[in-house]
Structure 1
Amino acid sequence: MSALVNLLVVVAVMALVIRRQMRPQRLDGDRRFWVLPVVLGALALRDPRLIDHEHTVLSATLLGCGLAAVLAMGSVWGWTVRLWRAEDGALWATGTKATMAAWAGMIFIRLGLYETGAVLHVHQAGSALLLSLAVLLLVRSLVVNWRARMLEAPDRVAGLR
């Protein structure tokens, strides 16, 4: 995919995810939270320009730093989501102000990595951003789902203390 198409996909997915995260939504245990990240990741990994072959080590290092950052920020993001049980027993989740701060932090980190690449004359494909978004969404979903399972089984949480 071209850089413009990658960018449009990223912006569209981010807008959808942010909008959904800021509204209360019922958590469904059967939901396939991993589908969107896997699709985005597959699209990103298909791009032969994911790594700048003229600056392989620097490019791979920047990509690795970006993925490490989204692993951390995805985890932070997952912990900022408010979870609660409704009167009918259903589990609900919604984003908080901290969730928005986590998004802003991730955007600033990403911009910093792109600026670093530009200073080092390393070409960074839009697919790197797509891959980062895939990892971010997957990690966030894993953390939220883990937290939700802990709410469903309070006796397991008591056993961990």
Structure 2
Amino acid sequence: MSTLANVLVVLLVLGLVLRRQLTAQRINEAKMYTLPAILLIVGVVQGGLIDHAHRALSVGMLAVEVVVGLLLGALRAATMRLWREPDGSLWRSGGGLTLAAWVLSIAVRLGLMGIAYALGVKTGNGNLLAFLGVSLLAQFAIIDLRSRSLPLRRAGVNVTA
């Protein structure tokens, strides 16, 4: 996939994810990890995660990107309101803090890209998708863990977590 196509796919996915995360949405717990796993797999398959001309530096940058992606995903998960409906279904809703966490995630990712560029590290198209996949996997894993202790919502009572 070309760089432009890859960026467009990331922007499209990001737009859909943002729209879903900023409104109340039922979470399909059986399929929760599907999109992040697909993004991560496609990013790895596209290749170019390592710049072979700067192997040690690019492996170091990749490690930093993975850790940062995990931390940013955890941060976004912490901003989500979770609850279970009487039927047992899991719901989530983000707000202003979730949006701020996404803006921070994007800014940090752009900063990491700038640092890599300044260091002469050239990576392929897969980095954007892989970073988004790792970040969403962390976010959904934290949401999954948080959801396990949620009580059922009773009629007329709001339960927040």
TM bin, normalised by shorter chain, reads: 0.7 to 0.9
- What residue number does 1:10 align with? 10
Question: What TM-score, normalized to structure 2?
Answer: 0.86
- What residue number does 2:100 align with? 101
Q: Is the aligned partner of 1:117 residue 2:116?
A: yes
Identity %: 38
Structure 1 residues 96 and 86: alpha-carbon distance in aligned structure 2, compared to 1, 3 A threshold:
same
Matches within 5 A, 1:1-161: 1-29=1-29, 31-86=30-85, 90-152=89-151
Q: Distance in 2 between matches of 1:115 and 1:14?
A: 20
Equivalent pairs, count: 152
Q: Distance in 1 between matches of 2:27 and 2:14?
A: 20
Unmatched 5+ stretches in structure 2: 153-161
Q: Distance in 1 between matches of 2:40 and 2:28?
A: 23
Structure 1 residues 87 and 36: alpha-carbon distance in aligned structure 2, compared to 1, 3 A threshold:
closer
Q: Deviation above 6 Å: which 4+ runs of structure 1?
A: none
- Deviations, residues 74-101 of structure 1 (Å, cap 9, x unaligned): 0111111011344666442101211111
Q: In 2, are the aligned partners of 1:41 and 1:130 still within 8 Å (CA)?
A: yes
More helix, by proportion:
1
Q: Distance in 2 between matches of 1:74 and 1:48?
A: 23
Unmatched 5+ stretches in structure 1: 154-161
How far 1:67 moved relative to its partner? Answer: 1.0
Q: Distance in 1 between matches of 2:137 and 2:84?
A: 23
1:59 counterpart letter in structure 2: S
Across the aligned residues of Structure 1 and Structure 2, the Cα RMSD in angstroms comes to 1.8
2:39 counterpart letter in structure 1: L
- Deviations, residues 42-76 of structure 1 (Å, cap 9, x unaligned): 11111332211111111111111111101001011
Structure 1 residues 27 and 46: alpha-carbon distance in aligned structure 2, compared to 1, 3 A threshold:
closer
Question: What TM-score, normalized to structure 1?
Answer: 0.86
